[in-house]
């Protein structure tokens, strides 16, 4: 049975429009569904996962929400402009941006090519820069805009074989601080949500079962669910978090304490 964490019906985001990059599956899918459950209209961005993005849209529609899909590469400035234009054309505004697009890569440092390094940095860090800058005129137009980065625990504790991912995710934390100060006068908040060990194949409709053998569980004794990350994102985008900005928030079951 799919989890209902983060799917609490409500209208605190009613009338708002959210753009979620990398929204086709896993944490991105949960975020899209949770924001829609809160009343927001959602533009689901994907690059190579159009079919899964359409599944996410269908889930939202089945629950009575509103969503559309737009395929775009967040590392391409022209594609990003098209994504933002399509969102505004369809929904009339953008109030919420969730920078979730990322790539998982594991390569020993000595074997990382310059091309692989650039690709990882581009998707995670350049993508967040490009999409945020393109959305800014809309985020600041109506007041109470919100930007949420989806960081990574490895960006804070490190991980072998993932130097490029660590660098990019650590960059998101710094980007959050600088951007929060730049956008505060516009009434736009910026925060960074950092998932710990998340069970990305459990708790979402249509996902395969995870093997029962698990190692390195956090002190709470289980993996987190994508919907638990989504619930925090939804809160940060709503009226109860308007005095919260520039923060990195770790959701990891006690697995890493900064």
For residue 168, pLDDT over 70 is answered with yes
Phi, psi torsion values for 193, nearest 5 degrees: -100, 125
Residues in Cβ contact with 257 at an 8 Å cutoff, skipping those fewer than 6 apart: 250
pTM, 2 dp: 0.91
pLDDT at 183: 98
What is the chain's mean pLDDT, rounded? Answer: 92
pLDDT at 201: 59
Judging by DSSP bridges, how do beta strands 248-251 and 17-20 pair with one another?
unpaired
pLDDT tens across 7-61, in order? 566 799 999 999 999 999 999 999 999 999 999 999 999 999 999 999 999 999 9
Of the candidates 229, 226, 155, 239, the one whose C-alpha atom is nearest the C-alpha of residue 189 is 239
Q: What is the mean pLDDT of residues 210-234?
A: 82
Give the domains, in start order, of the chain with CATH numbers: 17-205+219-250 (3.40.50.720)
């Amino acid at each position: 049975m799919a989890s209902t964490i983060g799917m609490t019906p409500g209208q605190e985001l009613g009338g708002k429009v959210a753009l979620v990059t990398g929204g086709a599956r896993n944490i991105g899918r949960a975020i899209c569904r949770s924001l829609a459950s809160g009343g927001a209209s959602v533009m689901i961005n994907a690059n190579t996962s159009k079919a899964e993005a359409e599944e996410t849209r269908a889930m939202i529609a089945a629950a009575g929400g509103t969503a559309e899909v737009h395929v775009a590469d967040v590392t391409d400035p022209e594609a990003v402009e098209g994504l933002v234009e399509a969102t505004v054309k369809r929904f009339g505004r953008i109030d919420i941006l969730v920078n979730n697009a990322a790539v998982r890569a594991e390569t020993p440092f000595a074997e990382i090519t310059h091309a692989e390094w650039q690709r990882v940095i581009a998707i995670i860090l350049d993508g967040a820069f490009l999409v945020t800058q393109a959305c800014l005129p809309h985020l600041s137009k109506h007041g109470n805009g919100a930007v949420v980065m989806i960081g990574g625990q490895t960006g804070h504790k490190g991980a072998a074989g993932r130097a490029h991912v660590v660098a990019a995710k650590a960059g998101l934390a710094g980007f959050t601080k600088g951007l929060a100060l730049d956008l505060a006068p516009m009434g736009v908040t910026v925060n960074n949500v950092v998932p710990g060990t998340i069970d990305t194949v459990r708790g979402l409709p249509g996902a395969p079962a995870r093997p029962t053998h698990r190692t390195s569980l956090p002190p709470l004794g289980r993996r987190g669910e994508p919907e638990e990350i989504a619930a925090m994102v939804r809160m940060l985008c709503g009226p109860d978090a308007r005095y919260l900005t520039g923060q990195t928030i770790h959701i990891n079951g006690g697995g890493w304490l900064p």
